[in-house]
Amino acid sequence: MSSNSFGQLFRVTTWGESHGAAIGCVIDGVPPLIPISEPEIQEYLDKRRPGQSRFTTQRREPDAVRIVSGVFEGVTTGTPISLIIDNVDQRSKDYSEIKDKFRPGHADYTYWKKYGIRDYRGGGRSSARETAMRVAAGAVARKVLGDAVSIRGALVQVGDSAVDRSKWDWDEVPRNPFWCPDADTASGWEKLLDKVRKAGSSTGAVIEVTASGVQAGLGAPVYGKLDADIAAAMMSINAVKGIEIGAGFAAAGLSGEDNADEMRIDNSGNVRFLSNAAGGVLGGISTGQDIVIRFAVKPTSSILAPRKTVTTDGRETEISTKGRHDPCVGIRAVPVGEAMLACVLADHLLRHRAQCG
Amino acid sequence: MSSNSFGQLFRVTTWGESHGAAIGCVIDGVPPLIPISEPEIQEYLDKRRPGQSRFTTQRREPDAVRIVSGVFEGVTTGTPISLIIDNVDQRSKDYSEIKDKFRPGHADYTYWKKYGIRDYRGGGRSSARETAMRVAAGAVARKVLGDAVSIRGALVQVGDSAVDRSKWDWDEVPRNPFWCPDADTASGWEKLLDKVRKAGSSTGAVIEVTASGVQAGLGAPVYGKLDADIAAAMMSINAVKGIEIGAGFAAAGLSGEDNADEMRIDNSGNVRFLSNAAGGVLGGISTGQDIVIRFAVKPTSSILAPRKTVTTDGRETEISTKGRHDPCVGIRAVPVGEAMLACVLADHLLRHRAQCG
Amino acid sequence: MSSNSFGQLFRVTTWGESHGAAIGCVIDGVPPLIPISEPEIQEYLDKRRPGQSRFTTQRREPDAVRIVSGVFEGVTTGTPISLIIDNVDQRSKDYSEIKDKFRPGHADYTYWKKYGIRDYRGGGRSSARETAMRVAAGAVARKVLGDAVSIRGALVQVGDSAVDRSKWDWDEVPRNPFWCPDADTASGWEKLLDKVRKAGSSTGAVIEVTASGVQAGLGAPVYGKLDADIAAAMMSINAVKGIEIGAGFAAAGLSGEDNADEMRIDNSGNVRFLSNAAGGVLGGISTGQDIVIRFAVKPTSSILAPRKTVTTDGRETEISTKGRHDPCVGIRAVPVGEAMLACVLADHLLRHRAQCG
Amino acid sequence: MSSNSFGQLFRVTTWGESHGAAIGCVIDGVPPLIPISEPEIQEYLDKRRPGQSRFTTQRREPDAVRIVSGVFEGVTTGTPISLIIDNVDQRSKDYSEIKDKFRPGHADYTYWKKYGIRDYRGGGRSSARETAMRVAAGAVARKVLGDAVSIRGALVQVGDSAVDRSKWDWDEVPRNPFWCPDADTASGWEKLLDKVRKAGSSTGAVIEVTASGVQAGLGAPVYGKLDADIAAAMMSINAVKGIEIGAGFAAAGLSGEDNADEMRIDNSGNVRFLSNAAGGVLGGISTGQDIVIRFAVKPTSSILAPRKTVTTDGRETEISTKGRHDPCVGIRAVPVGEAMLACVLADHLLRHRAQCG
């Protein structure tokens, strides 16, 4: 058991605080002889890297990853892969404002209640900086899954503004700073988030991630359900408050007739589903259809407007967070959500192979 | 690792198929010297038991639980608690209809794809019958948590009909067959579900579960987040398609100002929150406020209307499910959701004690 | 984590006390479609069953095993296999002698110190009765390993009398009541143990277990070493005080030249070792040679001669154990050791398949 | 599950190869607010460091440890502690001799059979270099255990020469290059090992480790036995072939009378044992007496004398290992054994606290 590890057979352990010397992860259980290089991991880290537009935090972290073990002559050896990213933008800063005050809606308070101590510099272990290692691990997970599996994410809602699904275009996703699949909605978000940003405020969002090419049979009864592990994976991402699969919460309003994904045989003799209310998972096991999940991210608690709070020594006060923060943390959550889905699928691929050969 | 186990230190392993001789669970890690008796567990099983109204399946399972180990002279000994329920209503039945056909929206197909075999009698291991053991384990978990923690669930939406939260009355919950906290809505559901039932159809639902009295500090960074484990727990329940905590998916539409639960000091010198958008968890650790979660349940796939499907040998056909089924499986999911929350909290109580004394 | 579970992917959880209604185990992770029946498990239980000669306890436990889940139409389904043995020889007995006194060299004292309670009837959970479920699980493990792997155990030392290895004959093992591979030594043990038995005393023993036909490559670095898991498995058996593999403790006295198992190529082009000081494991991974382990069992603490002890309320006293006990618990440890080795190998077979396909 | 992790609640994950850029470990589950500094860890690493006498390898590794996360303002924060040691003595070397040949008695062959690849530089992951991180983790474990627990190791046998226990003097241990508790025997070992070293040969050894001050009650039934975890811990150390506790293998030759550690009440009203054949553990749970274990280490396979071996492409050849190696790897195994015992005890301390408060 480890609270800082994720997965059973494709097992990722992360470490590091936002303002320590470095952050890192150890990935155990990776099959041998898989080609993997730093640039292949860096590609995904670059998608998550802050400061790429005015809509994400202006911290300058190059997030350059180093493979320190587990890869020899360009391929995995089956031994633990250690990945390390040095923290370079730890600018000297005055933390006196937050050192003794709790930010409402932040983990400040709960860490302090649990441990009696917290690393107040930049959130310490609770910082979203930790998600960089998830993205790095996700890049390795994709290699384990192979080219047949494709995992793509998109931002589908910012504040109250949701994408128009009839205009969904995956090619549009990398063209705008929001990973938005609908160009028109992206324009609207630009205006919306400029307003939020200038006000020193923040807003929530919804992310959708899809995995295509996943074989039927991954996942397991009863507590090892693929969607149970996906739910934990997504809920473990900073700021996530909800997760759904397929029809999700809308399934509550469906009839049994509408929810049943009818089945036919296609020309190749394979099973074909006529719909995907299940989101690719039935009874916790993949159906072979696309796995489609969504998760909701709350607005960051680091805002300019003063909020009522208390101090570590029990006095009432107010707090206002200045500095470099994301008006919508949901944007950078897109590559993180993709990475977590990749990790869960890689884990279940190995688990399935163990039991079912 | 075990796909049929749940929890780390309060660890529950369930076994059994719906039509085998019995189902059971083994609970390991329970602290010693806790008084526990069969009637105390039975009380919760009786809440879940089918056939108590016309709105749940008419199977007649007394679900009488036996404590077979781990309790001596009325108290726990610290050794594994084995609980067994004999299956008594396994009426001889003709399974030829479903033996070779897959029910759309059911785990039939995925079990068969994964294992190359499935126990087609009543769903086998994928049957909701397994949830009886969750409820039994939950009763033990409540004992571990003690009287200070109170866990209560309610049905808050059936089909498109949600409760009126201004009329919420916990006392009303056990008075109607739906665990509905609002008497007026309950009346409406009665009509709605009678219609669904007579049509041989089914409908989805949303369940809300609240835990009060949970101390601040339970849960852990980063992958051991309390809400990550709750999400997995709820998503592992049959038919669940979504899970949210606190503001949940609505958090996407909030501003940072609205989402921040401001803090004050009460007359006793304790921290008091002015709202609970967090649902009692920040950074994966409990705040001391009520933990409030919701999950969505899809309509059962066992419906009368014929649906297009295929056979195990690859032919197209139709299927229509006759027999004793729940028009709204969400009703019986209420005690199951309570039990899972109890199990997660008991587990994290022990985990917290291990690290933080 | 569970203190009553063993193995990672082939995962066995046992439950039950010696004087409860039943004992049982749940085996999770078993691959599907493996034929298994109650008689195939019973065969191994019968080898361990007490009362088969005057050299083991005279309790009469038929130890009839029932498969309660996880097997359908004669084959495994991939879901948890629940095995149960009812306790039938719980004769009404006066426990007042041991209820308040600790048996020196017995777990009585430590259970009481740990939990503040102990089931004093027959040892409760600390009873060797638990090993029946290990044997049952081992029978399933053998099925997972398949016919190519053969696991055989023998008693190689009783008290100070060790077998003559030059006379080793596996066929002799089932012909005497000691699982002794050397008929002459067996005769000597008969006299020795008759003397011990009549004196109400007990003696220790050494068991050797060999697994043939194990493929090279099972086991893993660094903490997942095959021999580390074997060591834990054997040491977890009641009364075991030492475990060694290959040359074992004698390796301390060897030179590097003598210890190195030299390698040649045989006529089929396969690697052939000229010796087996390694006992079939190098660097924690199987070499393909026979895996050869030994473990030492202490004499049972249940003896007639009065020993100085104390009571639960802190008074000095003496204790003498009357009743049905084994003069040499090592005899019945032979099938238990075999079973544990089978379980470890089955687990590592699945683990290897997961990572290395 | 992770093959490179050890412990359940005090959980150590190590990574790194002998000839990569660095080695490291992540320790999760450490309680908060424990003071810990790099010098306190370095102290133990210095005991294991090679090149301190002519009896250990002449590699020059300063083994300077850095604490990279989990410690803030001098105390633990409850988050994962990342420790890193840079590899500095990776002198350019010609590996062509061992690149394609297997060293008899070495993990070369089994890694290659398992993974189809091996990092042949200095043993890669199978190198004893990994044990540096065990020692570092052990230093942290000692901090968790606190000052009341004292863990000390000694070398008790080299080749066929065992210490004279009547001359045992703990103060002598750090005074000779062997951690030998008996000065006379140490003198003899000096001559013996000079001879072994000059011959380019190697010899095995036996190490004894004792933990004093361990409270009664640590450990758990049945598979969570303290001695089962100790056995796995020791057997996971490179080159270990056997492990015993208390009377160990000698218990086989004892009578029940001699093996029973009789109990009395001391002047303070506490239980006092008259002997310690149990080695401090009964039924897998600590008694409060000293925990006393021994393990046997085989001679290293890196020797000068040519041995018959085969190549990766299946040809017969010979191999002779030149260069800097330990004539008796058992010497440096002493601090490693101490560290592993500390880790197991720290883990079980947390596990005990979780269940029994």
C146-204 residue pLDDT tens: 999 999 999 999 999 999 999 999 999 999 999 999 999 999 999 999 999 999 999 99
Kindly tell me if the per-residue pLDDT of B289 is higher than 70: yes
Least confident of A48-57, A62-71, A338-347, C255-264: A48-57
> Could C356 and A32 be called an inter-chain contact, meaning their C-beta atoms sit closer than 8 Å?
yes
Residue B270's pLDDT band, with cuts at 50, 70 and 90, is very high
Q: Which of C:329-348 have CB within 8 Å of D? A: 330
Query: Strand, helix or coil at D271?
Result: strand
Residues A107-134: b if buried by 16+ CB within 10 A, e if exposed:
bbbbbbbbbebbbbbbbbbbbbbbbbbb
Six token digits for residue D126: 């199978």
Letter for the amino acid at D207?
I
Q: Which residues of A fall within a CB distance of 8 Å from D116?
A: 32-33
Place of tokens 């085969």: D310
Interface size between B and C, measured as CB pairs under 8 A = 150
> Could D31 and B356 be called an inter-chain contact, meaning their C-beta atoms sit closer than 8 Å?
yes
DSSP per position, C294-351:
EEEEPPPS--SS-EEEEBTTS-EEEE---SS--S-THHHHHHHHHHHHHHHHHHHHHH
Q: Which residues of C fall within a CB distance of 8 Å from A29?
A: 354-355
Q: Which residues of B fall within a CB distance of 8 Å from A350?
A: none
Q: Are D140 and D81 in contact (CB under 8 A)?
A: yes
> Terminal CA-to-CA distance of chain C, rounded, Å?
26
- Distance (Å, whole) CA D12 – CA A5: 11
The per-residue pLDDT for range B70-84, each reduced to its tens digit, is 999 999 999 999 999
Q: Which of B:1-20 have CB within 8 Å of C? A: 1-5, 8-9, 11, 13-17, 20
> Could A31 and C355 be called an inter-chain contact, meaning their C-beta atoms sit closer than 8 Å?
yes
Give me the pLDDT at residue D96, please.
73
Kindly tell me if the per-residue pLDDT of A227 is higher than 80: yes
| D205: nearest CA partner in chain C | C252
Place of tokens 């890297």: A49
C185 Cβ partners below 8 Å, 6+ apart? C161, C162, C163, C164, C167
Mean pLDDT of C332-356: 98
| D195: nearest CA partner in chain C | C255
- Distance (Å, whole) CA B313 – CA B101: 9
The Cα-based distances of B107 to A282, A290, B202, C108, D297 in angstroms read 5, 16, 17, 48, 52
D251 Cβ partners below 8 Å, 6+ apart? C204, C241, C242, C296, C297, C298, C299, D259, D277
> Could A17 and D69 be called an inter-chain contact, meaning their C-beta atoms sit closer than 8 Å?
yes
DSSP per position, C99-117:
HSBPPTTSTHHHHHHHHS-
Q: Are C253 and D330 in contact (CB under 8 A)?
A: no
Quote the Cα angle for D51-D55-D57, to 5°.
Answer: 45
**Average confidence score pLDDT of chain B:** 94
Q: Which residues of C fall within a CB distance of 8 Å from A221?
A: 79
Q: Tell me the whole-structure pTM to 2 decimals.
A: 0.97
Give me the pLDDT at residue D58, please.
66
> Terminal CA-to-CA distance of chain D, rounded, Å?
26
Mean pLDDT of C248-266: 97
Q: Are A263 and B310 in contact (CB under 8 A)?
A: yes
Best D5, D18, D25, D69 member to test A by mutation, with max A CBs in 10 Å, is D69
Q: Which residues of D fall within a CB distance of 8 Å from C286?
A: 110
Residue D90's pLDDT band, with cuts at 50, 70 and 90, is low
Q: Which chains lie within 8 Å of chain B at 3 or more CB pairs, if any?
A: A, C, D
Cα D105 to the center of its chain, rounded Å: 19
The per-residue pLDDT for range D164-205, each reduced to its tens digit, is 999 999 999 999 999 999 999 999 999 999 999 999 999 999
Beta bridge partners of B307: B319
The Cα-based distances of A196 to A56, C133, C324 in angstroms read 12, 63, 80
- Distance (Å, whole) CA A80 – CA D13: 9
Letter for the amino acid at D86?
D
| Structure-derived torsion over alpha carbons of residues A138, A143, A145, A151, reported in degrees to the nearest 10 | 50
The Cα-based distances of C149 to A305, B280, C208, C217, C347 in angstroms read 70, 54, 17, 14, 14
Kindly tell me if the per-residue pLDDT of B92 is higher than 60: no
Residue B113's pLDDT band, with cuts at 50, 70 and 90, is very high
Mean pLDDT of A53-64: 78
> Could B243 and A243 be called an inter-chain contact, meaning their C-beta atoms sit closer than 8 Å?
yes
> Could C350 and A354 be called an inter-chain contact, meaning their C-beta atoms sit closer than 8 Å?
yes
Q: Which residues of A fall within a CB distance of 8 Å from C356?
A: 31-32, 78
Strands (E) across A9-142 are located at 11-15, 22-28, 65-69, 71-72, 75-76, 81-86
> Could B354 and D357 be called an inter-chain contact, meaning their C-beta atoms sit closer than 8 Å?
no
Kindly tell me if the per-residue pLDDT of A120 is higher than 90: no
Higher-confidence residue of D347 and B88: namely: D347
- Distance (Å, whole) CA C149 – CA C215: 9
Kindly tell me if the per-residue pLDDT of D92 is higher than 60: no
Kindly tell me if the per-residue pLDDT of C256 is higher than 70: yes
Residue D279, phi then psi, degrees to nearest 5: 70, 25
- Distance (Å, whole) CA D122 – CA D238: 14
Residue D94's pLDDT band, with cuts at 50, 70 and 90, is low
Letter for the amino acid at C265?
I
Six token digits for residue D56: 């250990």
Kindly tell me if the per-residue pLDDT of C245 is higher than 90: yes
Kindly tell me if the per-residue pLDDT of C94 is higher than 80: no
Please return the burial class of A35, using the count of CB atoms within 10 Å of its CB with bins 0-12, 13-18 and 19+: exposed
Higher-confidence residue of A96 and C289: namely: C289
Write the residue in D4, D69, D118 that is nearest to A16 by C-beta.
D69
Is any Cβ of chain D less than 8 angstroms from the Cβ of A86? no
Write the residue in B257, B287, B316 that is nearest to A264 by C-beta.
B316
Place of tokens 């008695």: D105
The per-residue pLDDT for range A305-326, each reduced to its tens digit, is 999 999 999 999 999 987 767 8
Best B100, B243, B270, B292 member to test A by mutation, with max A CBs in 10 Å, is B243
**Pairing between β-strand D240-245 and β-strand D307-310 as defined by DSSP bridges:** unpaired
Write the residue in A28, A82, A124 that is nearest to D24 by C-beta.
A82
Give me the pLDDT at residue B90, please.
63
Q: Which chains lie within 8 Å of chain D at 3 or more CB pairs, if any?
A: A, B, C
Q: Which residues of A fall within a CB distance of 8 Å from D79?
A: 4, 15, 17, 119, 124-125
Residue B273's pLDDT band, with cuts at 50, 70 and 90, is very high
Residue A338, phi then psi, degrees to nearest 5: -60, -45
Query: Strand, helix or coil at C123?
Result: coil
Give me the pLDDT at residue A12, please.
98
DSSP per position, D22-81:
EEEEEEE-PPTT-B--HHHHHHHHHHH-TTSSTTS--------EEEEESEETTEE-SSPE
Place of tokens 């001789």: B21
- Distance (Å, whole) CA D59 – CA D62: 9
Give me the pLDDT at residue A125, please.
93
Least confident of B173-182, C265-274, C317-326: C317-326
Is any Cβ of chain B less than 8 angstroms from the Cβ of D114? no
Give me the pLDDT at residue B279, please.
98
Beta bridge partners of B281: B286
Q: Which residues of B fall within a CB distance of 8 Å from C15?
A: 26, 68-70, 79-82
Least confident of A54-63, A141-150, C175-184, D263-272: A54-63
Higher-confidence residue of A353 and D94: namely: A353
A96 Cβ partners below 8 Å, 6+ apart? none
Write the residue in B32, B221, B351 that is nearest to D356 by C-beta.
B32
Q: Which residues of A fall within a CB distance of 8 Å from B256?
A: 105, 201-203, 299-303, 305
Give me the pLDDT at residue B91, please.
60
The per-residue pLDDT for range D227-261, each reduced to its tens digit, is 999 999 999 999 999 999 999 999 999 999 999 99
Higher-confidence residue of A30 and D124: namely: A30
- Distance (Å, whole) CA B226 – CA B291: 10
Best B1, B12, B15 member to test C by mutation, with max C CBs in 10 Å, is B15
* Element (DSSP H or E) covering residue B307: strand B307-310
> Could D248 and C157 be called an inter-chain contact, meaning their C-beta atoms sit closer than 8 Å?
no
Letter for the amino acid at D54?
R
Mean pLDDT of C321-346: 92
Strands (E) across B131-198 are located at 150-158, 161-162
| D302: nearest CA partner in chain C | C256
In chain A, the largest separation of any two C-alpha atoms, in whole Å, equals 71
Kindly tell me if the per-residue pLDDT of B66 is higher than 80: yes
Mean pLDDT of D55-64: 77
- Distance (Å, whole) CA B151 – CA C344: 41
Give me the pLDDT at residue A92, please.
56
| A303: nearest CA partner in chain B | B256
Q: Which residues of C fall within a CB distance of 8 Å from B11?
A: 1-2, 5
Beta bridge partners of C273: C263
- Distance (Å, whole) CA C97 – CA C120: 10
Quote the Cα angle for A304-A307-A308, to 5°.
Answer: 160
| B31: nearest CA partner in chain C | C115
Q: Which residues of D fall within a CB distance of 8 Å from B350?
A: 354-355
Write the residue in B4, B8, B115 that is nearest to C1 by C-beta.
B8
| B78: nearest CA partner in chain D | D355
**Closest to B197 (Cα-Cα) out of B104, B110, B97, B325:** B325
Please return the burial class of C34, using the count of CB atoms within 10 Å of its CB with bins 0-12, 13-18 and 19+: middle
Higher-confidence residue of B104 and D90: namely: B104
Give me the pLDDT at residue D99, please.
87
Q: Which chains lie within 8 Å of chain A at 3 or more CB pairs, if any?
A: B, C, D
- Distance (Å, whole) CA C152 – CA C347: 18
Is any Cβ of chain A less than 8 angstroms from the Cβ of D101? no
- Distance (Å, whole) CA B293 – CA B230: 9
Q: Which value does ipTM take for this structure?
A: 0.97
Letter for the amino acid at D172?
E
* Element (DSSP H or E) covering residue B235: helix B226-235
Residue C120's pLDDT band, with cuts at 50, 70 and 90, is confident
Is any Cβ of chain C less than 8 angstroms from the Cβ of D315? yes
